[in-house]
Every structure is written in C-alpha cells, then in structure tokens.
Copies of this chain bind each other. A is one copy, B any other.
Amino acid sequence: MPTTGRVLDHPARTDIRLESVLHALSDPARLHVVRCLAELPPGEEVACSAIDLAVTKSTTTHHFRVLREAGLISQVYRGTAKMTALRRADLNALFPGLLDAVLTADAAQRHRAAARQDG
C-alpha cells in the first residue's frame, strides 16, 4: 500500500524539545499510545484505529497530533488509514535513554497497580 498525496508536518529532529516531549507523555491517553507503539517491532506502523483510546475519534485525532507535533511519532497516510510509528531513532539520538526510562517507569507503575489489585 503506497502513501497518498496528503502530507503531515513533522518537526525535524533538531526541533524536538524536551519540554514538549515530557508534556506529550504526561497525558495518560498519549502515554498509552506510546506504550502500544513501543511494544511493536521497531519501525512497525499501526493505524490510529488499532489503538483503543476510550474517547471519540476527534479526541483521538487531537492526541495523535500532540504526539506528532512534539516529535514522538511519525505518521503517513496509506489508503484511508493513517499509519503511526514511534520516532525511536530520533528520540534516542537526542535524549539517550529517556524513552526507555519512561517506558520502564510506566511498566513499573502498572506492575505495582496490578499487585495492589490482586491483594
């Protein structure tokens, strides 16, 4: 499936700001998206619709845009779908270890929550 004519703006690697990245990650819905993308094999893309966000489509669009404008994800149109991938390489080059630390922290927090749940 080739890409279509529609193009989306992405910040260049050097324009990615730490503050924007942290802000983007500070929303539970967006952190969820990043976690889902991180679980895929590196470079793999998914459609927006493949990640279930428990909000309306327009809100989903909004969150994906925040992530894209912060430089966390890249998106291209393929057919009617909009495929999304984590910008791992850019993030690791700019902020080594940051993405992993956040994902590890998130996993640890979820693990503790699950442990409390089980009693």
A28 to B95 Cα, complex, angstroms: 16
Chain B contacts for A20, CB-based, 8 A: 26
Q: Is A106 an interface residue (CB 8 A)?
A: yes
CB-contacts of A70-111 with B (<8 A): 94-98, 100-102, 104-106, 108-109
Distance of A117 from chain B, by nearest CB (Å): 14
Q: Is A62 an interface residue (CB 8 A)?
A: no
Q: Which of B28, B98, B112 touches A102 (beta carbons < 8 Å)?
A: B98
Q: Is A48 an interface residue (CB 8 A)?
A: no
- Given A101-B98, A102-B98: A22 and B25 within 8 A (CB)? yes
Q: Which of B96, B102, B104, B108 touches A22 (beta carbons < 8 Å)?
A: B102
Q: Is A118 an interface residue (CB 8 A)?
A: no
The 9 closest A-B pairs by CB, nearest first: A95-B105, A23-B26, A101-B101, A22-B26, A98-B101, A97-B101, A98-B105, A22-B22, A22-B25
